[in-house]
Amino acid sequence: MYEKTIDQLVLYASTQFKNGSHVVMCLGSEEYVGPEAPVMPEKANDKHFWDYKMIDLLKIEWTLQGNLQSLFNVLMALCDTEVKIAVKALSNFKEMDRKLDSVTLMKAINKIV
């Protein structure tokens, strides 16, 4: 059941979120998988190009974090009553809820079911 729900979330994330492929990678691995940072070039002329790549990287990171935070509420909504009660009873739920940490929530749900 859990795997089927994750498969449906993958489809949802890939169609609904900007840069949904990054969210899909996080869902598949149950951990935060951010984009790789570009390597700083040695030539001074290439550093401007690197700056643009870093700006793009920061935008992707910001979008990914926002998408994962939005996914937290989707995950909670998909849980049945018993799972919600078990998740809310966890010692780290308040921190998870404050950060809207969907990756930690997925791990907790996977352990419960």
1-48 tens-digit pLDDT: 778 888 888 888 888 887 778 888 888 888 888 888 888 888 777 788
| Structure confidence by residue, pLDDT tens digits, 60-87 | 899 989 889 999 999 999 889 999 999 9
Measured distance CA(49)–CA(63) in Å, rounded: 21
**H helix or E strand, kind and range, residue 69:** helix 47-78
Distance linking the first and last C-alpha atoms of the chain? 9
| pTM, rounded to two decimals | 0.80
**H helix or E strand, kind and range, residue 17:** none
